[in-house]
Structure 1
């Protein structure tokens, strides 16, 4: 990330809070590079190679990770970076997770995918709005999943987002803005009847604490309240590699713990970071 991004991040967040990011992945049973430890549960990303999870017409995605394979931080191959919106959409379709990547109990929600031309903006009143894509974003997509209520547990909501920028500096600024939003708006309104409360965030740049898996890691945690009641646990994690950011948000429910959510967040974010490195990293040797 450029110097201005690092300066903004340093002012935005207390670095001591960043240990929560690395801790999230260790608690969830992942290695420091974000990949699952000791294989995966049946139906998870280590269970089999998943093909064709992108949008119709998209290129076939890279193979999903199998077991605990450490993935180093390869240099970004600039020749692989997308230059157009079409190339960026094709790339994110090969990176973004599908429901089977998160676990056998996870299903698609309706609507499933956000419109490709919309961008979330937190306004001055701490209310989320949508606008057209900003100039620094080539493409973005969000997929919506849930775990149906049952066995004394309420419905868990999970969102996965991949955003492709022109370059690393732009993706770094996206992370910096996310940190500043938490400080500016610890209470946020998602839409009518849905709110996030008491948010706090932390960041770890590559090499800080236990972060060896992403160029910049950021997480926020707090409470979620919606139509099913609350407040319940909420967590969101974003990771950066070159021009790409990947993120998972998980909203809890009755009978769901922070550790439950952390497992899905770590699994999904680690999976997408693995694929981003596969797609954009320079080959070894």
Structure 2
């Protein structure tokens, strides 16, 4: 891959891009039980330069924790004693964080294949083509589940995917987010596989406490257009990724004919909010 491009906190244009999806999460809100109101391809980056235990650098934050006016933190303090230390522990945590199709809405069904190979990892090569490689040293466990909303009544098929990745610590998950931003800058046009491409991608990252991000340690989003041999296009495409401690969660959505961008974004809001809430429940310190 090309040289790392760290997030430029002074880049107002990228911050504005990041606000688009962050704002959607705030607008979506949560119900009384903490779940969100209403209702693509996995594309996670390669390993960071080290696997040390420091929490400084990408993914760390010194911002005060917003409460959303409830008195309870939207981002609780991480309980480091709960962080998984082995592959087996990470896979168990992943199982409790990743969502099934019911979490995305009644029309969503499983695709075939349903889950990614747990021993493989997508890497964006120098030619901006996604390839498959073995897991990098900093990843304890990762999984992507694939869903879709079937085409009917003149509406095309909406493709969705949910990805959860478990690292050793916050530093490593922060570097994953940083590299996601680097990939968009390096490759605004990307080839997913033969006959499937992403075009005109843009992205942005916001730390906790920056502008409208009050729900995750790092909020990353990218959007653009999807073109597929089977699905036609260009159609709206968006990817949103969130981080809590050593965990990143993400939803990718590829739109279709007859589907509004708002409807596609609603799936992203629903899925990412749910998985982030579950990660916080598993790894956050108890209140009191």
Q: Report the TM-score, using the length of structure 1 for normalisation.
A: 0.83
What corresponds to 2:19 in structure 1?
19
Superposition deviation, residue 203 in structure 1: 1.2
What corresponds to 2:286 in structure 1?
283
- Tell me, yes or no, if structure 1 residue 263 matches structure 2 residue 272: no
Secondary structure in structure 2 of the residue aligned to 1:8: coil
What corresponds to 2:8 in structure 1?
10
Q: Deviations over 1:74-105 (max 9, x none)?
A: 11111110001111011011000100000000
Q: Deviations over 1:55-74 (max 9, x none)?
A: xxxxxxxxxxxxxx976211
Secondary structure in structure 2 of the residue aligned to 1:276: helix
What corresponds to 1:241 in structure 2?
244
Equivalent residues, number: 248
Q: Report the TM-score, using the length of structure 2 for normalisation.
A: 0.82
Question: Which residues in structure 2 correspond to 1:73-88 (within 5 Å)?
Answer: 73-88=75-90
Moved more, 12-21 or 262-271: 12-21
Query: Given that residues 239 and 268 in structure 2 are in contact (C-alpha distance below 8 angstroms), is that contact kept between their aligned partners in structure 1?
Result: yes
Query: Given that residues 71 and 274 in structure 1 are in contact (C-alpha distance below 8 angstroms), is that contact kept between their aligned partners in structure 2?
Result: no
Secondary structure in structure 2 of the residue aligned to 1:284: coil
Superposition deviation, residue 224 in structure 1: 0.4
Superposition deviation, residue 238 in structure 1: 0.1
What corresponds to 2:170 in structure 1?
168
Alpha-carbon distance in 2 for matches of 1:105, 1:15:
33
Give unpaired runs (5+ residues) of structure 2: 40-69
Give unpaired runs (5+ residues) of structure 1: 42-68
Alignment counterpart, residue 272 of structure 1, candidates 261, 275, 284: 275
Q: Deviations over 1:203-237 (max 9, x none)?
A: 11100111111000000000001122100000000
Aligned-pair RMSD on alpha carbons? 1.9
Alpha-carbon distance in 2 for matches of 1:264, 1:127:
26
Query: Given that residues 30 and 267 in structure 1 are in contact (C-alpha distance below 8 angstroms), is that contact kept between their aligned partners in structure 2?
Result: no
What corresponds to 1:65 in structure 2?
none
Superposition deviation, residue 8 in structure 1: 1.3
Runs of 4+ residues deviating >4 angstroms: none
Superposition deviation, residue 25 in structure 1: 1.9
Alpha-carbon distance in 2 for matches of 1:148, 1:30:
27
